[in-house]
């Protein structure tokens, strides 16, 4: 799971496949799903062939080779990242794909079809292959040679490639990330390659898009610390603020998230070439923490010397602090805000509209302050929030469809299914923003914090709740059989067998 950055199920599948075994599915794939998987397999082969073509073309292009040398990259780094070159030709890919008219080339994002004409998407660009966690090519980033626009051109969204989920260089950086204990996020492919060239190998890049919650969750699973590195200009600070906003609900207490801004006119590529590895690592140690960056940005918008400025400071800080799920980090932030706004600590929680202070700060757990629903669906809900892996066992067929808890459970299940890897609770809560079931999910989350279930206790509670739902279904079936009457011996025998199974299942539950 750690080495390939895979979820548990995908990791087991990959290990099984490596020794020629196939893991059974929870349920047989539908015809549409089977067709989709087969189609994806075809597209993987297509992308691999295109990468080989671009790599071959790089060897034939003195201009592209000189460009890479001018950027300080060696042949070893170019080979490691499998960098290639797309010739300055409208239909160069015909050299790799004689069947240039096939639809798969358009589907894979290699060819553009416009008003009946076909032409290569990438022309006269240095090509950077983008890999998924398993090492398969899923897309490309093309860097223009010279001053053309756009500077970087990425593959479009395809069945294989979704920019908001993938990171450039992650496949190559995994070992270095573990060794360094941190991951560095930069903005460009060339930055990743240049840093690797100078021995800073734990860097990855977003793919021409803003940082997403999926990026942050994926990297926090891999590393003990996360550092975003941006240019010091207005665009860099805007990108950093977006990264901060998506990081707030995901930031854990034990893994710091930091922000580094390079001097005006510098990027990681130019900075590491100018100052070397040691100079870059010295700069890295200057990175601001998430809380420092947040408070500095908020303070810059307010005059803390006036009552009105301090009032505004609390107001604009409120939505950001409310997003923070890590209890110790939220406590430290609220204390800092209270001090800067000259507000008593006892008042700041009320002004920021925060729940009570973390339970561990008290000598004993507080009693739940509201009447929790007494239903198996409620038990399932707070158990899932204690142990998110249980979400795979939610079955809509056994739930009482009219209950809000049931609808919240299905909303959590659907949110989890949107992620390729196992999501964190913060990621799920972020995805449920705007959902009508978010309020009951948050109530259940607070209840789960109050009772302090371990993952194992949650699993036991979840199992017992499923048994109770099954008992309710069986009892309803028995009542209906009684209501219809047991006129024949066959009906009586069927009733007795079902009743016996019901009694046995009832006996499996622990005594209240």
pLDDT at 434: 79
Q: Which residues of the chain have pLDDT under 70?
A: 1-8, 24-41, 345, 355-373, 420-422, 507-512
pLDDT at 367: 41
pLDDT at 369: 44
CATH class, 301-361 region: mainly alpha
* Interacting residues of 460 by C-beta distance below 8 A, sequence separation 6+: none
Taking alpha carbons only, the member of 394, 399, 405 closest to residue 372 is 405
pLDDT at 31: 59
Taking a C-beta distance cutoff of 8 angstroms, is the pair 14, 23 a contact?
A: no
Taking a C-beta distance cutoff of 8 angstroms, is the pair 288, 258 a contact?
A: yes
* Interacting residues of 484 by C-beta distance below 8 A, sequence separation 6+: none
The domain 376-508 having CATH identifier 1.10.10: the answer here is no
What is the tens place of the pLDDT at every residue in 46-93? 999 999 999 999 999 999 999 999 988 999 999 999 999 999 999 999
Cα separation values, 59 from 49, 81, 270, 360, 447, Å: 16, 15, 25, 62, 62
44 CB burial (10 A radius; 0-12, 13-18, 19+) = middle
Q: What is the DSSP string of 392-444?
A: GG--GGGS-TTSHHHHHHHHHHHHHHT-SSPPPHHHHHHHTTT-TTHHHHHHH
Annotated domain spans of the chain: 8-154, 167-293, 301-361, 376-508
What is the tens place of the pLDDT at every residue in 453-489? 777 778 888 888 888 888 888 888 888 888 888 888 8
pLDDT at 30: 60
pLDDT at 26: 56
Strand partners, 168: 205
CATH class, 167-293 region: alpha beta
CATH class, 8-154 region: alpha beta
pLDDT at 48: 94
Token duo for residue 282: 């010295």
Starting at the earlier edge strand, list the strands of the sheet with 125-131: 84-86, 125-131, 137-144, 152-154
């Amino acid at each position: 799971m750690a080495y390939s950055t895979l979820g548990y199920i995908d990791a087991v599948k990959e290990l099984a496949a490596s020794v020629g075994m196939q893991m059974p599915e929870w349920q047989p794939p539908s015809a549409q799903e089977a067709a989709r998987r087969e189609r994806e397999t075809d597209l993987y082969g297509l992308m691999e062939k295109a990468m080989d073509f671009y790599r071959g073309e790089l060897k034939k292009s003195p201009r592209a080779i000189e460009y890479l040398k001018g950027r300080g990259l060696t042949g070893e780094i170019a080979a490691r990242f499998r960098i290639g070159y797309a010739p300055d030709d409208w239909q160069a890919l015909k050299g790799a794909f004689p069947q240039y008219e096939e639809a798969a080339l358009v589907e894979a994002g290699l060819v553009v079809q416009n008003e009946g004409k076909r032409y290569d998407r990438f022309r006269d660009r240095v090509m950077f292959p983008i890999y998924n966690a398993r090492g398969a090519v899923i897309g490309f980033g093309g860097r223009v040679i010279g001053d053309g626009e756009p500077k970087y051109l990425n593959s479009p969204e395809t069945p294989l490639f979704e920019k908001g989920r993938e990171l450039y260089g992650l496949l190559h950086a995994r070992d270095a990330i573990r060794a360094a204990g941190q991951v560095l996020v930069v903005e460009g492919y060339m930055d990743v390659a240049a840093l690797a060239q100078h021995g800073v190998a734990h860097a990855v890049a977003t793919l021409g898009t803003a940082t997403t919650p999926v990026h942050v969750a994926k990297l926090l699973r891999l590393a003990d610390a996360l550092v975003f590195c941006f240019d010091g200009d207005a665009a860099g600070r805007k990108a950093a603020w977006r990264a901060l906003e998506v990081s707030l609900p995901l930031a854990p207490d034990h893994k710091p998230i930091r922000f580094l801004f390079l001097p005006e006119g510098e990027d990681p590529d130019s900075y590491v070439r100018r100052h070397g590895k040691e100079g870059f690592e010295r700069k890295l140690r200057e990175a601001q923490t998430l809380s420092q960056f947040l408070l500095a940005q908020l303070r810059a918008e307010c005059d803390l010397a006036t009552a009105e400025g301090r009032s505004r400071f609390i107001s604009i800080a409120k939505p950001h602090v409310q997003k923070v799920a890590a209890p110790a980090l939220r406590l430290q932030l609220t204390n800092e805000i209270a001090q800067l706004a000259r507000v008593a600590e006892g008042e700041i929680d009320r002004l920021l509209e925060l729940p009570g202070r973390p339970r561990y700060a008290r000598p004993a757990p507080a009693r739940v302050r509201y009447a929790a629903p007494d239903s198996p669906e409620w038990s399932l809900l707070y158990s899932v929030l204690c142990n998110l892996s249980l979400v795979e066992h939610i079955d809509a067929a056994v739930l009482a469809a009219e209950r809000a808890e049931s609808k919240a459970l299905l909303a959590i299940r659907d949110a989890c299914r949107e992620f390729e890897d196992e999501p964190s609770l913060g990621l799920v809560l972020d995805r449920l923003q705007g959902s009508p079931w978010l309020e009951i999910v948050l109530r259940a989350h607070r209840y789960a914090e109050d009772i302090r279930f371990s993952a194992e206790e949650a699993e036991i509670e979840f199992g017992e709740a499923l048994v109770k739902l099954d008992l309710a279904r069986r009892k309803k079936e028995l009542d209906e059989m009684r209501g219809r009457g047991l006129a024949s011996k066959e009906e009586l025998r069927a009733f007795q067998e079902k009743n016996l199974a019901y009694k046995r299942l009832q006996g499996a539950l622990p005594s209240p």
